[in-house]
Amino acid sequence: MDTVLLQAIINGLLLGGVYAAYSAGFSLIFGVMGVVNLAHGELIMLGAFTSYWMFEYFGMDPYYSLPFAMVFLFAFGYLIQKYIINRVIEMPHIMSYILTFGIHLMVANIALKLWTHDFRSITTSYSGANAALLGLIIPYSRLVTFFLALLIISGLWFFLSRTETGRAIRATSLDKEVARLMGVNIREIYAITFGVGAAITGLAGASISSFEIISPEMGLQYTIIAFCVVVLGGMGYMPGALWGGMILGVAQSLAVTYLSAGISVAVTFLLLFVMLIVRPTGIVGKGLVA
């Protein structure tokens, strides 16, 4: 196989792993509650800033700060859902869209006031380091995030299928009325679900902080990408986040390699358009349709 093509595919798979890592929480929240979280990118931003400030003040490696980002974002997501989003959860979907968009604006502007427009980055001893294998370049940071995506997806599967809380979440996603009759506290399950989704999203945000530019305004682009990824993989279907990330990552990488960098955005929306028309339940046909 041509080395340039192989390098493009590898780059795309690693990029897809990054996409999957920060899209899994988006898919989880939609699958259980039917909420398209338009503040998703701000959860990534907060996770990245958690990692940045712990590196800045304590010299902590970004990967060591992952548990702190998870705990902080779980608490943030749990409280947002319990005391704000739960108030409109039984209303038409448009209300949750408006509310989460308002949360996006609020969090982004508070972050902007606190941390200004400045772009920030984390420079470590391994920043920019690559592995060379058979003439191919593999960035260490993206490789770690790729395996982190696999860990997130498998960890979520274990949590949802092997724990009592996870089974309650699955029951709620299948039929909330039956789950309520079985004694499940639906609103509490929603809060836990949002907290878990926020936690793994914050984990992903902290993990990409070692190779992405960090700013208070970074959230919206990540929300758009996450939406595209879960549509490609199937809304609410957890393994679909991985499939969707890989498909989008490889498509963008091939577009950059053989066409131009600017065309990758057009490729993203073209894939989204085709998938919504041809197969709205995702590439493997197991997703939900709002």
Per-residue pLDDT at 198: 96
Q: What pLDDT is stored for residue 177 in this prediction?
A: 87
What 3-state class would DSSP assign to 209? Answer: coil
Look-up: residue for tokens 């197991």? 286
- Residue 235 has a pLDDT of 81
| DSSP category for residue 214 | B
Q: How many angstroms separate the Cα of 132 from the Cα of each of 1, 15, 223?
A: 17, 17, 33
What pLDDT is recorded for position 181?
85
Cα separation, 212 vs 123, in Å, equals 10
pLDDT at residue 1, rounded to an integer:
58
Q: Does domain 3-278 have CATH number 1.10.3470?
A: yes
State residue 173's pLDDT score.
Answer: 86
The span from the CA of 40 to the CA of 235, in Å, is 15
Q: How many CB atoms lie within 10 A of CB 215?
A: 20
pLDDT in tens, 8-63: 999 999 999 999 988 999 999 988 888 899 999 999 999 999 999 999 999 999 99
* Positions of the chain with pLDDT under 70: 1, 285-290
